[in-house]
A and B are shown apart, each in its own frame.
Chain A
Amino acid sequence: MTSSLPPETLTLETLPRHQRAAVDMIEWERLAVPEARRLRELGFDQGVPVEVLHRARMGSGPIACRIGRMTVALRRAVARSIRVSTAALPAE
């Protein structure tokens, strides 16, 4: 399912587990204002490395991901607005 999408539309929702990636772009306009703010406060921003750690069962349930040195839980609807890319990873 994921593999049929072109790589540039990979989002945090569809990113395979444990695959290192970086935030490419966040579609802020798709998010509610408080959600967008919380996301910024938790450090989501272009170029930041992210990794999906856990996903509750297929279809629904939140996602746990690593961002910086933090583990953050968020819902799929939010993860869907976070585009990621596995191409250009900043050196760590």
Chain B
Amino acid sequence: MELPPLVAMVGNPNAGKSALFNALTGARQKVGNYPGVTVERHSGRLALDDGRAVELVDLPGAYSLDPSSPDERVTRDVVTGTQAGERLPDALVVVVDAANLDNHLRFALQLIALGLPVVVALNMVDLAERDGLVLDPAVLERELGVPVVPTVAVRRRGIDVLRARLTALVGGTTAELRRLRPSDGSVDDDIVTLQRRARTIAAAATVSETPVRRWNHALDSVALHPVFGPILLATLLFVMFQAVFSWSEVPVSWIESAFAALDGVVRDAMPDGFLRSLLTDGVIAGVGAVVVFLPLILILFLFILVLEASGYMVRAAFLMDRMMAQVGLSGRAFIPLLSSFACAVPGIMATRTIDDEKDRLTTILIAPLMTCSARLPVYSIIIAAFIPARKVAPFIGLQGLVLFGLYVMGIVGAFVAALALRRTVTKGDSSGFMMEMPKYQMPRMGDIAIGLWSRAWIFLKRAGTTIALTTVILWALLSFPQAPAGQKQADYSVAGRIASGLEVVVRPIGFNHDIALALIPAMAAREIAVAAIGTVYAIDDVEDTRGERTLVDNLRGRWSLPTALAFLMWFVFAPQCISTIAVTRRETNGWRWPAFMVGYLFATAYVMAGITYWAAVFAGL
């Protein structure tokens, strides 16, 4: 089968390539990967006006053909026809931001010089107009020598004209397509010349211009203010975490009752036996314990996505840069680390925007220390069981204070780790912090919804596969072989025997046999620890001991306070999450860094839990 013609969307970051790509392709999109690199390939089909279909690919944003990150290298290699697994495009849609022509035209000039058929999308003309900038596309067309189409990607303005121009371009020149050479390193000198030419063209195309966006500056004078800026950021973060807990209460209770109802249905419909126990004690309890956290994750990501789409997030990075610089990171690490409070997996994926390799690696290695939502079930059950619900001051409960302390512990741990890593394994000059601050915008609800859905999907898929499978395996290991009368099933089972081996190692830090047993399946995901302990006690007890009340009683009866505190401290540091390890392997292209991450975090967890245990014992707790 012959492949359809390929058209690539290319341009500076934030020019609106993806928005335009979405407007052109609609829902028919495919996400793949370029071979050998962790760069995603977004492609879709576009039907031209004459009925022919072309494949449209959305290339990563770049500033020039001189790449400084793997993403930018893919862009360069695709447009020069040297990217493995990709054919040379038949035409390029070069996307430029109308309000930023000086800068975006330079890359456009470089791209046009490659010699492929090009149509320029003069995007975001709405924002340019809002800023009082009026441009003449005809002048641009004349100066650049290629068609120029004004567009507003998010309102689908200019899309039909763009498609018409593409129809004319594609296929017209196939006979004399040239093989192109990659850029030859002399680009550095060229940039300045090109930049000057870009400025001249932009000036010629500017019909009228009022001074730069006033209200953007007004917003920035608050957001970036040396005093009010940090106060605003702290307030936003406070409101965010507050909302995560208060808004999620109701949906969490819905999910809980849905799983309880499901459990009831299964219990009524099936005779008592292994299969029923597998479904209820294994799958439903295990998956339920995880899915309950979906509302928390979604609320946190709602805030993050809105802050990102509005343009505020880069301002937050600006404010945080000073603090991050002190531990050898840059402000850019702030966004991935904030996402890691929901889940380290999207957090680690978000480190792709950090161009310095050492910075990026350090951020990946400390991301698992941010208190992700998977730790909450563990923290909340242990706190409920061992920390008295009493007030230490008006409005400040001891339980809340301990939870807060665990968050702080993670952040402090991350900063200390970054400091240590930057002096040892990820030693090197800091790449600094240099970034463009996008214009403020009203976030578009459609984009936010898509972003939320993709996060929810990742989470649910994980709950449905990794976690469901692990809980089933754990249930099986705990249920076989059957203990003879008078022996504890949890000790006699396969899992029990494995745990006895591990117990030798963790005994010095105050962990008992049940904990050793729970730690093994919790390697797949932290939240399984709770389900696992629940299952251990459920399998041993005659009565049905599911439900928090009895699990709390069980914990109180079987664990000492120092053990409980050591257990909490363990979970601040321990890298018990298979998805995080997998994504680290993918993002660092090998086993070396995930292995290092697991090693240093387990060692820290062991030492810190041990210190906590013995300190608590000596303090007579």
Contacts and interface: CB of A to CB of B under 8 A. Distances in A.
Given A53-B224, A56-B226, A75 B432 contact: yes
Contact of A70 (B199, B224, B325, B436): B436
Interface string B302-324: 00000000000010011101100
Contact of A72 (B199, B216, B225, B435): B435
A60 interface: yes
Given A56-B226, A69-B212, A43 B195 contact: yes
B356 to A, nearest CB: 8
Contacts of A55: 226
B90 interface: no
Contact of B355 (A34, A42, A66, A71): A34
A45 B195 contact: yes
Interface in A22-80: 32, 34-35, 37-43, 45, 48, 53-57, 60-62, 64, 66, 68-75, 77-78
B437 interface: yes
Interface centre among B133, B195, B319, B432 (most CB of A within 10 A): B432
B436 A72 contact: yes
Contacts of B220: 53-54, 64, 71
Given A53-B220, A62-B318, A70 B435 contact: no
Interface in B183-239: 188, 191-192, 195-196, 199, 212-213, 216-217, 220-221, 224-226
B207 to A, nearest CB: 15
Contacts of A42: 63, 103, 434, 436
Contacts of B433: 62, 73-75
Interface string B97-114: 001111100100000000
B77 interface: no
Contact of B191 (A35, A40, A53, A62): A40
Contacts of B213: 69
B492 to A, nearest CB: 61
B434 A69 contact: no
A54 B356 CA distance: 25
A60 B321 CA distance: 10
A56 B101 CA distance: 28
Interface residues of A, number: 32
Contact of A78 (B199, B216, B314, B434): B434
B434 A39 contact: yes
A75 B103 contact: no
Given A39-B434, A69-B212, A71-B436, A54 B224 contact: yes
A1 B48 CA distance: 63
B66 interface: yes
A77 B434 contact: no
A62 B322 contact: yes
B544 interface: no
Interface in B152-207: 188, 191-192, 195-196, 199
Contacts of B612: none
**Interface size classification for chain B:** 35 or more
B429 A69 contact: no
A81 B68 CA distance: 21
B431 interface: yes
Interface string B431-466: 111111100000000000000000000000000000
B321 A61 contact: yes
Interface in B542-562: none
A45 B102 CA distance: 12
Contacts of B68: 34, 37-38
Interface centre among A45, A64, A69 (most CB of B within 10 A): A69
A53 B102 contact: no
Contacts of B431: 32, 34-35
Interface string B114-136: 00000000000000000101000
Contacts of B356: 34
Contacts of A45: 192, 195-196
B434 A73 contact: yes
Contacts of A48: 199
Interface in B591-614: none
Nearest to B202: A68
A73 B318 contact: yes
Given A37-B66, A40-B191, A54-B224, A74 B196 contact: no
A38 B213 CA distance: 24
Nearest to B12: A41
A62 B191 CA distance: 25
A68 B331 contact: no
A54 B221 contact: yes
B373 interface: no
A21 B196 CA distance: 18
Q: 9 tightest A-B contacts by CB?
A: A61-B322, A41-B63, A54-B224, A71-B437, A68-B102, A74-B434, A40-B191, A43-B103, A73-B318
Interface of A: 32, 34-35, 37-43, 45, 48, 53-57, 60-62, 64, 66, 68-75, 77-78
26 contacts: A32-B431, A34-B68, A38-B68, A41-B106, A42-B434, A42-B436, A45-B195, A45-B196, A48-B199, A54-B221, A54-B225, A55-B226, A57-B322, A61-B321, A62-B322, A62-B433, A68-B102, A69-B102, A71-B437, A72-B435, A72-B437, A73-B318, A73-B321, A73-B433, A74-B432, A75-B433
Given A42-B63, A74-B434, 18 more contacts: A37-B188, A38-B434, A41-B106, A41-B191, A45-B192, A48-B199, A54-B221, A54-B225, A56-B226, A60-B325, A62-B322, A64-B224, A69-B101, A69-B102, A70-B100, A74-B432, A75-B321, A78-B434
